[in-house]
Structure 1
Amino acid sequence: GKVIKQTRGPVTLTDHERSYELVEGEGWHQLVAFDLTTGLAVWLADLGTPPIDEATLADGGVWIVQNGVRRGFAVRDGRERSPKSL
């Protein structure tokens, strides 16, 4: 669907190896990792419908906050992790 800017936080994060793009449209949000050397997408995580309020890179993960809930995704493969497993 059409991309629409609804995010209240950043839209791009980087660790200088990959960029992590927060992409969204009406009723959907995704986190996509791109390899900065090849320009290819490495992984994608569907985030559902809640807007993204915050996003940061820390402790080997991309951390987002949606409706007050903190979620973490491992930078290496995009798998959602608990804060203790990242």
Structure 2
Amino acid sequence: MRYQAELENLTTLDALAITRACSSPEAVMELIDEAVDECIEFDELGDEHLAAGEHEHAAFCRQEAAAWRATAAVLRSLARSHARTERRTAGVA
């Protein structure tokens, strides 16, 4: 539940993606890749806007990149949690 609340607060992923992330280790890995790609894209866009003197657009892009970076960090924590759960479950079987 903690991860779900953190992801909802970041508002980068929709409700379906958050539900998938919380229930599927495979989905988490895909979403981490997506979050990193979005972060890179917004950082590059921010650079372009800054070079063009569009400071407000650059600031917006930097903010979006930061949100996607935070999303990737939460998803990585969630992936570690999934892995711990899988190890415990495998040890029981």
| Structure with the bigger percentage of strand | 1
Instruction: From the CA coordinates, give the structure whose radius of gyration is larger.
Output: 2
Measured against the shorter chain, the TM-score band is under 0.3
Give the TM-score normalised by the residue count of structure 1. Answer: 0.22
| Structure with the bigger percentage of helix | 2
**Could you say which structure has the greater relative contact order, defined with CA pairs below 8 angstroms and 6 or more residues apart?**
2
